[in-house]
Amino acid sequence: GLRGLIKAIDRSKTIYENFRDVCLRRGDADSIYYENKVYSFAGFLAIINRVAFYYREKGLKEGDLITLVVPNTPETVASFYAALQLGLRVHILHPLTSEDNILRELEDKGSKLLVTVSLFLRFYDRILSSHFSVFVIDPTVSLPWYKRAGFALACRGRLKAYRQHKELDNYNDVDGSCKDFVPYDVKEGHIILSSGGTTGISKSIVLNDFSFLTILADGCWFLGDTPEQAEKESMLAALPMFHGYGLTMGVMAVPFLGGAIGLLSSFRTKKVIQLLKKGRLTTLLGVPTVYEALLKNKHFKGKILRPIRNCWVGGDFISPSLIERFNVRLREGGSEGRLMEGYGLTEAVNVLAVNRLSDWRKDSIGKAIPGVDVKIIDENGKELPRMTEGEIAVGGDTLMVGYYHPEDVNPFIEIEGRRYLKTGDLGKMDKDGFLYFISRFKRIIKKKGMNVYPLSIEKSVSNLKEVEECAYLGETYKGYDDTALYVELAPNVDEEEAKKVILDTLHREYNKYEWPDFLFIKEKFDHTSVLKIDYKKLSSEFHSFLVEKFGPLHD
């Protein structure tokens, strides 16, 4: 029957070749929902081939590197696939990367082309006057005329630089289609992503097609679907594609199964609700702030939630109370789905372990996905017994080729003749193979010679109904180990009452050395570009407080 028509992913072929096969098979079926417009697989493949035509005309050839600094739009996603179609290497940067950093990256990687959108040109004076080639995409290019006109009007001021630089190569002017492709070696690294870089400078991570396809081949396993059911799925793709999680699971996973994505150029609750009302979302993917925002929207309830079958959260610490509140909302709407926690890092194409509807455990980050092997090791790389805390190490087919600059720390280790990656995360594994995340090593605080795990404290505190978000950190200052808990309160909560509840909870659940020395109530936390609390900013705030309280280090 139909099963025979549905071809499995072939890891000896490139990402583009595999996706092209899906597009040719699915033809007129829905592939992308973007700003109320529906793109078919055939229509999307035509956009990819159009961009590839431009790259080829530009003289780009196999092995050349291009840089994408883009939000999610059908054409920007197509520019990624088109690069792989011609065997180019593609480096994706965060859409909000500063001009200085983009210039540094272009130089560092010897990039032949910067692909960006019209709206961003206003930040790029120096890039535009440099020797680098720029290819510009209008984010509304294939939308109806009234949407384009509305966008041009609303963004008048912000599009000034775009209108002044008519000489730039523009997607609107590309007139042709390239259907040829380059079948390069899938073990070569053609995709470069940057690590989250929550602390210090982010590293450039080189990944190959083989690793991506290993994860994409298991789409049905993630969703708990048959191949026929998978073609009816539609995934929310609101996380930007510079993010391994957003690219692999958001943008690529479901279309590779023949299903669709609801593509958002940035996360907006209103847009998610519109997609739900039209029955165009069956699977949600996000970081914790995405789910908090959905819960706060009064329209996110009732029967529009019924089609939701899977929801995954990752990329940051998530409070158990958020999972519980979200699942209650889903149940009330008649959905059989539930919010599941997963775990990953860009060095392994992001997803390593995940809870699934058919196989989950409370408080865990799930079991290792197929093709991935996870071990808990001690500092000498020796595997530890079950339920013993140690470093999470990962092996298998999804590992990166390496860092772009080989002199960056080598995170690999050999265990029993196989290559493993040390994650820098502390965790444990139960007898059934479920993983539990305890802390990032970088965030373990030493206090009076004892280990303090901020994540554990943050979980307890953020579970309180009085608390919106919190962060626990420490610093050794003038020979003393000082710790602080920063808290943003839920709306309309009495500050003194809340402080009492927080301290009572900590005194009840934690040892004295784990209690914070200082408790600060914050109006609002600053977040990084990937929507995590900005710990760097918080650390410097705490440091300034200590300097003021105890005087400068050297008088």
Task: Check residue 381 and give left, alpha or beta (phi > 0: left; psi -120 to 50: alpha).
Answer: left
Residues of the chain above pLDDT 90, percent: 83
Ranking 111-120, 143-152, 260-269, 309-318 by mean pLDDT, the lowest is 309-318
Contacts of 478 (CB under 8 A, 6+ apart): 550, 553
pLDDT value of residue 201: 57
Please give the DSSP secondary-structure letter assigned to residue 246.
Answer: I
Q: How far apart are CA 288 and CA 473, in angstroms?
A: 20
pLDDT grade, residue 196 (50/70/90)?
low
Task: Report whether pLDDT(553) > 90.
Answer: no
Instruction: List CB contacts of 333: < 8 A, sequence separation 6 or more.
Output: 301, 302, 303, 304, 305, 306, 308
Once rounded to an integer, what is the mean pLDDT over residues 430-450? Answer: 89
Angstrom distance (rounded) from CA 274 to CA 12: 39
Q: Got the DSSP string for 310-323? A: EEEE-SS---HHHH
Which whole-number Å values give the CA distances from 528 to 196, 531, 546, in the listed order?
Answer: 10, 5, 24
Per-residue pLDDT tens over the stretch 234-243: 999 999 999 8
Output Rg (C-alpha) for the chain, integer angstroms: 24
**Lowest-pLDDT range of 71-75, 180-184, 346-350:** 346-350
Section 2-19 average pLDDT: 80
Q: What would the pLDDT profile of 77-92 be if each residue is shown by its tens digit?
A: 999 999 999 999 999 9
- pLDDT for the residue 287: 87
**pTM across the whole model:** 0.88
Strand partners, 194: 204
Distance CA 355, CA 291 (A): 17
What value does the mean pLDDT of the chain take?
Answer: 93
- Report how many helices (DSSP H) and strands (DSSP E) the chain contains, helices first: 17, 27
Let me know: does 88 contact 65? Beta carbons within 8 Å.
yes
Angle between helix axes 454-462 and 495-509 (nearest 10 degrees) is 130
Q: Which residue has the higher pLDDT, 456 or 27?
A: 27
pLDDT for residue 199 is more than 70: no
Secondary structure string (H, E, C) spanning 123-144: HCHHHHCCCCCEEEECCCCCCC
The CA dihedral of 291, 297, 298, 299, to the nearest 10 degrees, is -80
What confidence score (pLDDT) does residue 200 get? 41
State the DSSP H helix or E strand holding residue 288, giving kind and residue range, or none if neither. Answer: helix 288-296
- Over residues 305-334, the mean pLDDT reads 92
| Whether pLDDT at 155 is above 90 | yes
DSSP notation for 505-521: HHHHHS-GGGS-SEEEE
Residue 177 half-sphere exposure, CB side, CA atoms within 13 Å? 8
**Looking at residues 408-416, what average pLDDT do you find?**
85
Q: Kindly state the average pLDDT of the residues 338-343.
A: 96
The per-residue pLDDT for range 66-77, each reduced to its tens digit, is 999 999 999 999
DSSP for 339-369 reads EEEEE--GGGTS--EE-BTTB--TTS-EEEP
| Whole-number Å distance between alpha carbons of 543 and 403 | 32
Tokens standing for 233?
Answer: 């799925």
Burial of 163 (0-12, 13-18, 19+ CB in 10 A): exposed
Q: Which residue has the higher pLDDT, 533 or 531?
A: 533
The answer to whether 199 and 442 have CB atoms below 8 angstroms apart is yes
Give dist(CA 368, CA 374) in Å, integer.
Answer: 6
pLDDT tens digit sequence for 489-531 = 999 999 999 999 999 999 999 988 899 999 999 999 998 877 7
Reported as half-sphere exposure (CB side, CA atoms, 13 A), residue 121 has a value of 29
How much is the pLDDT for 409? 74
Tell me the C-alpha distance between 444 and 194, whole Å.
24
pLDDT at residue 554 in the model? 67
Distances in whole angstroms, Cα of residue 40 to Cα of each of 108, 123, 511? 38, 34, 58
Q: Do 103 and 127 contact (CB within 8 A), yes or no?
A: yes
Q: Which residues fall within 8 angstroms of residue 452, CB to CB, at 6 or more apart?
A: 444, 445, 446, 474, 483, 513, 514
pLDDT above 70 (res 310):
yes
Q: What integer is the mean pLDDT of 38-42?
A: 98
CB burial class (10 A; 0-12, 13-18, 19+) of residue 187? exposed
Q: Which residue has the tokens 């009076």?
A: 448
Alpha-carbon span 491 to 431, nearest angstrom: 42
DSSP-based three-state secondary structure for 132: coil
- Mean pLDDT (whole number) for 197-203: 51
- Can you say whether the dihedral through the CA atoms of 180, 15, 76, 64 is positive or negative? negative
Residue 64 scores a pLDDT above 70: yes
Query: What is the pLDDT averaged over residues 338-354?
Result: 93
Please say whether the beta carbons of 158 and 133 come within 8 A.
no
